Amino acid sequence: MKTVSSDAVFLAKFYICPIVAVLHNYYLVVAELKVKEFQIIEQYFAGQGPMRKDVILGIGDDCALVQPAEDKVIVISCDTFAEGTHFLSDMPAADIGFKSLAVNLSDLAAMGAEPAWMTLALTLPEIDEEWLKQYCEGLYEIAEYYNISLVGGDTTRGAKSITITVNGQTPESMALKRSGANVGDWIYVTGTVGDSALGLDILLGNRQVESESKEYLIGRHYRPTPRVLAGQSLRGVASSAIDLSDGLSSDIQHVLKASEVGAVINVDQLPLSKALVSSVGQEQGIEYALSGGEDYELLFTVPDAKVGALTASLSHAGVKYTKVGQITAGRELVLSFDGKTYISQQHGFKHF
Ligand code: ADP
Ligand code: MG
């Protein structure tokens, strides 16, 4: 026969005890994670990567202290890199490390700034030391190249996501803004455009291409080259600049809006790589270039009187650049192919 006391025993045995046990375990896990978090910071972040002389106090206190150069302003940019949104779950950790900083550097490049310091907010579902080791390899590889010190950050648990804030410097009057383009200025693009988007399509299984091109295209997607030196060389030469993250036809609109001008882009002059054209042909290549995104090349405008200076300064930076159009008074973007109006099939990537 069932009694009150046997109900109480039943409740204690099957409900209360397991709940207490789960809570107890939860607190143990949280405490252990906290200890692990400090070990992780010590092992992977404190004292790692290049150490600049202008870092007065790095990782370990509540804030970092840095000494900016005289006569320069601080240039700040922040980008989040979230699994599922910005990278596929099978992306190699070293490439995630590289790209999570590269995309931030691309913004500094677009302002003509020299990078100097960064912070890293890392959210991970669990502590996977092998992943962390490889992530750091990629991160410090590009940080070494541009001499950027990691001066702080945050480490938390959650869906995998990386936010880097990068700080650079530039003389204030030399910052390249989106708002400086004038009617008649020539429009240029560095490197080649469209490769990264095709690389992504290959990774997603939407396209198949020959193996030599495949490696190059995926490389362009995983490890974009931020045009940091080109950006600095454009100081005093370019009237405006932007980096290409969402696709040329979408990104250029920001320049046109900020500068209150229009533009003609000759799509037949867009710099397409051999790998892109040999894989999908010129027509599709142009579509990748216009709408694909994630090229992290610079688009910039130069007044006619500065074209000579441009040749000198960019050859010095060793970067290929191509004239793709001209700023107009019309307030709209006109795409032209061989002198005829070109209608694009798609638009740039939008998150929302
Ligand atoms: P607080 O609780 O005061 O914000 P934390 O305990 O989170 O400090 O971090 C301790 C130190 O380690 C700080 O100097 C912080 O900037 C640094 N830090 C934490 N996580 C990272 C990380 N992922 N990368 C670099 N530095 C980090
Ligand atoms: Mg604190």
pTM: 0.89
Nearest ligand to the C-alpha of residue 100?
A: 1
Model pLDDT, residue 60:
95
Q: How many Å apart are CA 186 and CA 270, to the nearest integer?
A: 14
Atom of ligand 1 lying closest to residue 155 CA: 20
Model pLDDT, residue 30:
58
Looking at the chain, which runs of residues are DSSP E strands?
A: 55-57, 65-66, 73-82, 114-124, 149-157, 161-170, 186-190, 240-243, 262-266, 298-302, 321-328, 333-337, 340-341
Please indicate whether residue 161, judged by its CB atom, sits closer than 6 Å to ligand 1.
no
Please indicate whether residue 61, judged by its CB atom, sits closer than 6 Å to ligand 1.
yes
Q: How many Å apart are CA 334 and CA 252, to the nearest integer?
A: 11
Calculate mean pLDDT across residues 199-227. 96
Model pLDDT, residue 317:
85
* Structure letter (DSSP) for residue 147: T
Residue 176: CB atoms within 10 Å:
25
Residue 27 alpha carbon to ligand 2 centre in Å: 22
Mean pLDDT of the chain: 92
Per the CB < 8 A criterion, the answer to whether 263 and 187 are in contact is yes
Dihedral sign, CA of 262, 266, 271, 275?
A: positive
Q: How many Å apart are CA 95 and CA 109, to the nearest integer?
A: 20
Please indicate whether residue 155, judged by its CB atom, sits closer than 6 Å to ligand 1.
yes
Calculate mean pLDDT across residues 296-317. 95
Model pLDDT, residue 36:
82
Residue 167 alpha carbon to ligand 2 centre in Å: 20
Please indicate whether residue 97, judged by its CB atom, sits closer than 6 Å to ligand 1.
no
For residue 15, is pLDDT > 80?
A: no
Please indicate whether residue 45, judged by its CB atom, sits closer than 6 Å to ligand 1.
yes
Nearest ligand to the C-alpha of residue 48?
A: 1
Determine the angle formed by the axes of helices 211-222 and 274-291, rounding to 10 degrees: 40
Model pLDDT, residue 19:
75
In tens, the pLDDT along 310-345 reads 999 998 888 999 999 999 999 999 999 999 999 887
Helix/strand number for the chain, H first, E second: 10, 13
